[in-house]
Amino acid sequence: MKRNDINFLKTIAIIAVILFHMDLLKNGYLGVDIFLVVAGFLTTKSLAKKNDEEKFSYKDFFCGKLVRLMPVVLMGTLVTFLIALFVGMLPDDFENLSESIIASNLFSNNILSALTTKNYWDIVNSYKPLYHLWYLGILVEFYLIFPFIMRLIKKKSKKGNYELNIKIVLSIIAGISLVLYFIPSIPEYYKFYYLPFRLFEFLIGGLCYSFSKKFKLNDNLKSIVGICSRIILILMLTVFPTILDGGLNLILTVFLTGFIILLDNKFNIGSKVWNFISEKTYSFYIWHQIIFAFYRCYVSDIDNVFSIILTLILTIIVSLISYYILERVITKRYNKKPLYILSLILTDIFIIVLSFLVYLNAGVVRNVPELDIEKTNVSRGMHAEYCDRIYNYNKNFEINDKYNVLIIGNSFARDFANIILESNYSEKFNIQYHFDYSTLNEDEVKKSDYVLIYGDKSEVPEIILKNVDTSKIFGIGTKNFGKTNERFYFRRNLDNYFKQTVLPTKDILDLNTQYAKKWGNNYINILELLQNSDGTVNVFTNDNKFISQDCRHLTKNGAIYLSKLIDFNLIFDLDK
């Protein structure tokens, strides 16, 4: 029997998620949390009934879930791979995408994301077609372990105590998970991507099923409370302020979703719309980000009415085709046939093998002279190897007649070290690099003739201020070359290909202004050196090479290019 409240929740959840990935709804990410609560409710309901009837089979349950999920995922990852291959994705991006395809097909994209990107909120994720599939990893892990919990409760329960024990055990586990979620010392990305910190959301849904038989309200009161709860939930997703750090929005959304489910309100206004959309939420979820990411990579940002309407239409069309052909016809008709299951497994293996071959080849499937990459000379981590070579410069200063330059900061500081090393003055300097202040040695700081720092001037520690002349302490400027090189590379057959420019993102421009004010005359304003008269920066060097491989860090050619723009005499006393 269909429950309109469940369909309502699934509908507003998928709409919220889609609008979030279009950058139109800041709180839209909470739609996933609604899905987790609903999944917990439906799964608990299914397992409790099967346990009561002694019809539970773990193999049938888990295989049934995989057969339900796999077809759309396999089609999504295969289409993604083929687009990247034939459109011509840049090696770094194709390597990362191949890694993500493998993880997605193994339902472990959440683990990959936690090990690699770590930050779900990074704007560059909007250009990744599969980054949203972390949700499926969490979901499948829940399907993997939850039946064992329910069976264990059943086995250990005396006659008549089963329902009570479900309430007790699920409440305890949910409580532990909730406590883990609020422990401040645990990294935020752990809480976002790993099941133990998300388990309480599923179990809130499970507890709603367990308590539903005992929860009674007058029908009129239930209708009023149900309507008010839905309005509040919609307001949570739309107009309430976003509170990421404290997680308050997430917790309120989870409990409000559980309360709506617990009410089991029969309010039917708009039920036909909810029922229609809710049936197709899975296909909508899989395809929307694939379409959005490729549109952003190869056409433009989704930041105007035309692009919004076009990407929404494409999403609706592709998702409906996916639902009616893959989900409704093929999966329902053949889901229990061994040959169908075998074909899914073989398709999965085929896509994984293809992706693994691309991954092993560092994403290189064609020559890219703009990055000095040839198919005949490939090594994994080519760009990282160049960018990270500065880590070898963390040794004590040598005793000679060169200037001792201490460089401190993240990858932007590493970039500036490479600029110095690529300059005509490289032989005049001893360089020592530290990622942050924690590894500084006071004796080495005292030996420093110059200190170059990427970061806020107000955070410079006393160990530097008391040992180095402040006139010799400089702030390294920030830089930005857009959001993705894919859009530029896609236009490689156009006459003005190497003349392309891009406007740095607003957050980078604001940060640069802030740093420039604080550092004053001791600020190395890299962005100002790069900008053209219209505020844009070039994408390519004068000899047609990418300045940056990822729009943030410098290629070797980019470091050489910038070394010629910087007047080192304004920083160092080179005539001495």
Q: For position 61, what pLDDT does the model report?
A: 86
Identify whether residues 308 and 400 lie together within a single domain: no
Q: For position 4, what pLDDT does the model report?
A: 84
Identify whether residues 351 and 474 lie together within a single domain: no
Report the amino acid identity of residue 408.
I
Q: For position 490, what pLDDT does the model report?
A: 94
User: Per-residue pLDDT tens for 31-88?
Assistant: 999 999 999 999 999 888 876 666 778 888 888 888 889 999 999 999 999 999 999 8
Give the confidence band of 248 by pLDDT, cuts at 50, 70, 90: confident
Q: For position 544, what pLDDT does the model report?
A: 96
pLDDT higher than 60, residue 477: yes
- Whether residue 344 is contained in a domain is answered as yes
Identify whether residues 78 and 154 lie together within a single domain: yes
Identify whether residues 516 and 551 lie together within a single domain: yes
CATH number, position 566: 3.40.50
Q: For position 118, what pLDDT does the model report?
A: 83
User: Per-residue pLDDT tens for 156-174?
Assistant: 887 778 888 889 999 999 9
User: Per-residue pLDDT tens for 164-220?
Assistant: 888 999 999 999 999 999 998 999 899 999 999 999 999 999 999 988 877 777 777
pLDDT higher than 60, residue 243: no
Identify whether residues 227 and 84 lie together within a single domain: yes
Q: For position 576, what pLDDT does the model report?
A: 59
Q: For position 53, what pLDDT does the model report?
A: 63
The CA distances from residue 198 to 121, 141, 463, in Å, are 17, 11, 42
- Whether residue 364 is contained in a domain is answered as no
In this structure, what token pair is assigned to residue 104?
């997605």
Domain that holds residue 201: 4-359
Task: Please indicate whether residue 314 or residue 236 has the higher confidence score (pLDDT).
Answer: 314
- Whether residue 368 is contained in a domain is answered as no
- Whether residue 154 is contained in a domain is answered as yes
Q: Which of 328, 302, 304, 303 is nearest to 315 (CA)?
A: 302
- Whether residue 367 is contained in a domain is answered as no
Average pLDDT for residues 359-374, to the nearest whole number? 92
Identify whether residues 116 and 174 lie together within a single domain: yes
User: Per-residue pLDDT tens for 273-292?
Assistant: 888 999 999 999 999 999 99
CA distance 349 to 399: 58
Residue 453 belongs to what H/E stretch?
A: strand 450-453
Residue 158 is given by DSSP the state P
User: Per-residue pLDDT tens for 419-452?
Assistant: 999 999 999 999 999 999 999 999 999 999 999 9
pLDDT higher than 90, residue 529: yes
Identify whether residues 334 and 408 lie together within a single domain: no
Contact 66, 345 (CB under 8 A): no
| 3-state DSSP of 538-557 | ECECCCCCECECCCCCECHH
Q: For position 380, what pLDDT does the model report?
A: 77
Contact 478, 511 (CB under 8 A): yes
pLDDT higher than 80, residue 344: yes
Domains contained in the chain, number = 2
429 phi-psi bin (left φ>0, alpha ψ -120 to 50, beta other) = beta
DSSP-H helix ranges across 364-505: 382-387, 411-422, 442-447, 462-465, 486-489
pLDDT higher than 90, residue 238: no
Judged by average pLDDT, the poorest of 7-21, 157-171, 199-213, 356-370 is 157-171
CA distance 461 to 34: 45
Q: Which of 130, 31, 152 is nearest to 74 (CA)?
A: 130
- Domain-terminating residue out of 359, 393, 414: 359
CA distance 376 to 452: 39
- Domain-terminating residue out of 359, 391, 410: 359
pLDDT higher than 70, residue 256: yes
- Whether residue 378 is contained in a domain is answered as no
Contact 343, 311 (CB under 8 A): no
- Domain-terminating residue out of 324, 359, 394: 359
Judged by average pLDDT, the poorest of 124-138, 149-163, 492-506 is 149-163
The CA distances from residue 32 to 5, 21, 436, in Å, are 17, 12, 36
Identify whether residues 279 and 405 lie together within a single domain: no
Identify whether residues 324 and 231 lie together within a single domain: yes
Give the confidence band of 267 by pLDDT, cuts at 50, 70, 90: low
Task: Please indicate whether residue 49 or residue 1 has the higher confidence score (pLDDT).
Answer: 49
Identify whether residues 121 and 263 lie together within a single domain: yes
CA distance 133 to 106: 11
CA distance 115 to 385: 19
Average pLDDT for residues 377-386, to the nearest whole number? 78
| Percentage of residues of the chain with pLDDT beyond 90 | 69
Average pLDDT, the chain: 90
Pick from 68-82, 233-247, 254-268, 321-335 the range whose average pLDDT is largest.
68-82
Q: For position 176, what pLDDT does the model report?
A: 96
Identify whether residues 350 and 206 lie together within a single domain: yes
- Whether residue 403 is contained in a domain is answered as yes
Helix, strand or coil, per DSSP, at residue 514: helix
Identify whether residues 337 and 466 lie together within a single domain: no
Q: For position 39, what pLDDT does the model report?
A: 96
- Whether residue 374 is contained in a domain is answered as no
